[in-house]
Amino acid sequence: MPEPLRIGLAGLGTVGAGVVKMLQVHAGTIAARAGRPVEIAAVSARSRHRDRGVDLSGYGWEDDPVALARRGDVDLVVEVMGGEDGPARATALAAIGAGKHLVTANKAMLARHGQALAEAAEAAGVALRFEAAVAGGIPVVKALAEGLAGNRITRLMGVLNGTCNYILTRMEAEDAPYAQVLEAAQRLGYAEADPSFDVGGIDAAQKLALLAAIAFGTQVDFGGIAVEGIERVSLADIEHAAELGYRIRLLGVARMTGAGLEARMQPCLVPAGSPFGQLAGVTNMVVIEGDFVGRIVLSGPGAGEGPTASAIVGDVIDVARGLVIPPFGQPAAELAAAARAGDGAAAAYYLRFLLADAPGVLAKVAAELGAAGISINRMRQVEHESEEAPVLIVTHNAERAALDAALAAIARLDVCRAEPVAIRIEEL
């Protein structure tokens, strides 16, 4: 019988408990597929006595996760504590320093320290795997780093935060305002009491940073991602987008251009009939375009006990099989720091204004857009019963810097009654 792979599990929250369940319930299947038994040797968490719904009696216990990482009876550390620094990073460094493989679900840590951790893991000859850090149960990291490794990736797009997608699609379906749907998401456990990490786009942008590094052979650059959340998306925008044949999604896009890496996470209008337009609820979706493979669409549950545990155990099985590859698809020393492409390629935009209902007002707005070199594709005034008229404009392709200058000029007009809204249209 081959020697077992012995795991030290740091973190026993929802995901950690899910890993324990999966390894217990499917022990025989996992051993058969891994070619050797996979066993938990020891665990670590903040509270030893909390009931987590799983039997931990057969495992060693460490109050300190760093001590867990250094145990002699641990071959691989699974880190599911979270946090970009503190105990999580200390545990990761201790594991690698002790020659232990590391499997983590910690997108925040990798988005900030991924390059350094990859270099350390490769120097130590150990695996660093993080499928669970991006898109839950969807095997997108493996797809990029292994299955599509022969392709030049031309574009990567993703809906990577289930909370945001739940809020936007509930607003669509129930004709409900943002604040009301957010409150419902918090009651159901889809959103935290402080939801800013999710609705502000930070969580999804961290995931995009990891995927972009693999897709384009660059160092992880979370700071290079332009991030905008969904807080300003109104029910009116969702309704008007639907009338124009679009839906609004928090969409991450990354592509390599002549100017460098374009990477952004922002609300976008997408065609209603597209895969992203049809995506509802907490589901995640990633679209990858390669020069030989064409377009690949991956979708599934982006979080939760079962999907995340599934991704972690998949990585553990790969390590048990002896698979040790560069964490970001190619040696970390060869990953270049990408130049930042700024606001990206020109695109069409949806614009919404609240203007005084008076003669000549639309002409003033059109003049400011024209002065910035922005041409109008469609314009219409929404029916209203007040002295303020909502006006919608869809532009032809425009540079964002020029658009921002035009919007600033329009906002200064005495006929403008509210801050203009601009949402990029992403054609798929």
pLDDT per position as a tens digit, 3-55:
999 999 999 999 999 999 999 999 999 999 999 999 999 999 998 888 888 99
Cα(335)–Cα(119) distance, rounded to whole angstroms?
10
What percentage of the chain exceeds 70 in pLDDT? 99
| Buried residues in 353-378 as b, exposed as e (16+ CB within 10 A) | bbbbeeeebbebbbebbeebebeeee
Let me know: does 197 contact 323? Beta carbons within 8 Å: no
Let me know: does 339 contact 261? Beta carbons within 8 Å: yes
pLDDT at 361: 92
Give the C-alpha distances (Å, rounded to integers) separating 265 from 42, 140, 225: 39, 18, 7
pTM of the model: 0.94
Instruction: Give residue-wise pLDDT tens across range 277-318.
Output: 999 998 999 999 999 999 999 999 988 899 999 999 999 999
Provide the 3-class DSSP secondary structure of residue 61. Answer: strand
pLDDT at 143 over 90: yes
pLDDT at 425: 96
Residue 141 amino acid letter: V
Residue 61 amino acid letter: W
Give the C-alpha distances (Å, rounded to integers) separating 269 from 173, 180, 181, 274, 347: 16, 22, 20, 11, 11
Residue 62 amino acid letter: E
Instruction: Give residue-wise pLDDT tens across range 256-288.
Output: 998 899 999 999 999 999 999 999 998 999 999
Let me know: does 199 contact 171? Beta carbons within 8 Å: no
Q: How far apart are the first and last CA of the chain?
A: 51
Average pLDDT of the chain?
94
pLDDT at 332 over 80: yes
Q: Which residues are catalytic?
A: 207
Q: Which residues partner with 43 through β-bridges?
A: 9, 61
Give the C-alpha distances (Å, rounded to integers) separating 4 from 24, 260, 279, 286: 14, 45, 41, 35
Backbone φ and ψ for 385, nearest 5 degrees, come out as -125, 15
pLDDT at 201: 96
Give the single-character DSSP code of 143: I
Angle between helices 400-411 and 361-371 (to 10 degrees): 150
Which of 281, 310, 283 has its CA nearest to residue 298? 283
Task: Answer with the residue of higher pLDDT: 170 or 388.
Answer: 170
Q: Across residues 368-394, what is the average pLDDT?
A: 90
